[in-house]
Amino acid sequence: MVNRRGIAMMSSAHLVDDLYQGIVPAMLPFLVIERHYSYAAVAGLTLAATMLSSVVQPAFGVWSDKKPRRWLIPAGMTTAALGVGLAGLFPSYALTWVMIAISGLGIAAFHPSAASAARRASGDSNRGMSVFALGGNIGFALGTFIATPVLLWCGLKGTALLVLPALVMAGILVKRLGPVLDGPAGARIASTMPKGEDNWPEFLKLTAIVVVRSIAFFGLSSFLALYFIHDLGTSQEIGGAALTVFLASGACGTLLGGWLADRFGALVSIRYGFAFAIPVMIGLVSATEWHVALIFVALSGVCIFVPFSVFVILGQNYLPNRVGTASGVTVGLAVTVGGLFNPVLGALADATNLHLTLTVLIGVPVVALILSAFLHVPTTPRQSVGWQRGQK
């Protein structure tokens, strides 16, 4: 059975946490304009947000496999918020880089424990995990939606105001997370975690696909706004709106991916997402009017995000005895490793232009689609799936 209250709480927590991941790309145009950073420099800040998180996130996953440490969920979220909040206050590039890296550390602490808690609430339902993933998608999109007007109004120092949502949500989690997930004392909810043998070869194949997909995600989220501003001649507001459209449509793709996976199978959902991403991204770089390009931005968001929630539950089914580790890799390490390629994309953009850079990204879903052909369905026994209103 699916614990709907538990999924709602974990999705809300994911929303607030990933708000701070979304704020980072929203800051990039302002850093270029106010501090005159190069494309390579702002890509380096994306690297700061992802590098430390990439290294330590599997360690947090292994740590949470040994013993549940749910306190990492509010603690990681708060750390992510404080890092982003302080990043706009320091004029030094080095200090800005360090603050964004600290934010990435908070993200690393949050995701493995949060994904394990969401799996406990969702059972074996791809829809349940897609709702959890949806929270992150919406949070990332809201990060750009909220940050852009705040930064336009206050400048980069306005990042300090953006810490407040994390403080509120962390307080709620500290008080209510345990009872919602486990039930009141004396009425514990039965575990719905996966069971079976760990399948490392299939999990490593999946990890490679997640890495490849994340290159496209980080490339588009980092350079879409700048592409609209500099190549399509739009305003900062429209550039920020394009990024928001990409991430908001990605939320629709996340739900679509969960529905497809429950109805037709996880591998079908993954392959369809990558297959349709190829012509859509070709349309994006071929469009000469920003109105038309915006349509392809929305379609790109749907296609790129269709496999995302499916990756999480599929990875946990490949490693049923190491759910925290699987979560740390599929939600964290493999995703953020894609961000390590961003400086290469930034250097390419500096040496040529953003249009060529986005054109190169078309090859990414092609590679991911080819790799997905080698995946096999996990042999882990499936739990029964049902939706409940409360905790019973």
The CATH number of residue 77's host domain is 1.20.1250.20
Is residue 387 a part of any domain in this protein? no
Asked, for residue 391, whether it belongs to a domain, the answer is no
* pTM for the structure as a whole: 0.74
Going by C-alpha positions, the residue among 316, 297, 335 that lies closest to residue 136 is: 335
Contact 260, 269 (CB under 8 A): yes
* Tokens of residue 277, six digits: 């991403």
pLDDT of residue 122: 79
pLDDT at 1: 67
Which pLDDT value is given to residue 228?
92
Examine residue 242 and state whether it is found in any structural domain, yes or no: yes
pLDDT digits (tens, 9 = 90+) for 346-357: 889 888 899 999
What angle in degrees, to the nearest 10, is found between the helix axes of 93-122 and 4-35?
160
What lies within 8 Å, CB to CB, of 211 at 6+ separation is: 334, 335, 337, 338
Closest CA to 281 of 352, 217, 343, 361: 361
139 in a structural domain: yes
Beta-carbon contacts of residue 365 (< 8 Å; ≥ 6 apart): 213, 216, 274, 275, 277, 278, 281, 303, 304
Neighbours of 290 (CB within 10 A): 20
Does residue 384 form part of some domain?
no
DSSP state of 273: H
On the CB side of 8, how many CA atoms lie within 13 Å of its CA? 11
- What distance in Å separates the CA atoms of residue 28 and residue 9, rounded to the nearest whole number? 31
Please check whether residue 385 lies inside any domain of the structure.
no
Segments of the chain scoring below 70 in pLDDT: 1, 124, 183-196, 332-333, 335-336, 379-392
CB 222 within 8 A of CB 277: no
Neighbours of 289 (CB within 10 A): 9
> How much is the pLDDT for 141?
74
Range of the domain at 198: 2-184+193-378
Q: Say if 264 falls within a structural domain.
A: yes
How many domains does the chain fold into?
Answer: 1
Q: What is the pLDDT of residues 356-385, one digit of tens each?
A: 999 999 999 999 999 999 999 876 444 434
Q: What pLDDT does 291 receive?
A: 92
Cβ contacts of 73 within 8 Å, gap of 6 or more: 13, 110, 113, 114, 117, 173, 177
- Any domain includes 369: yes
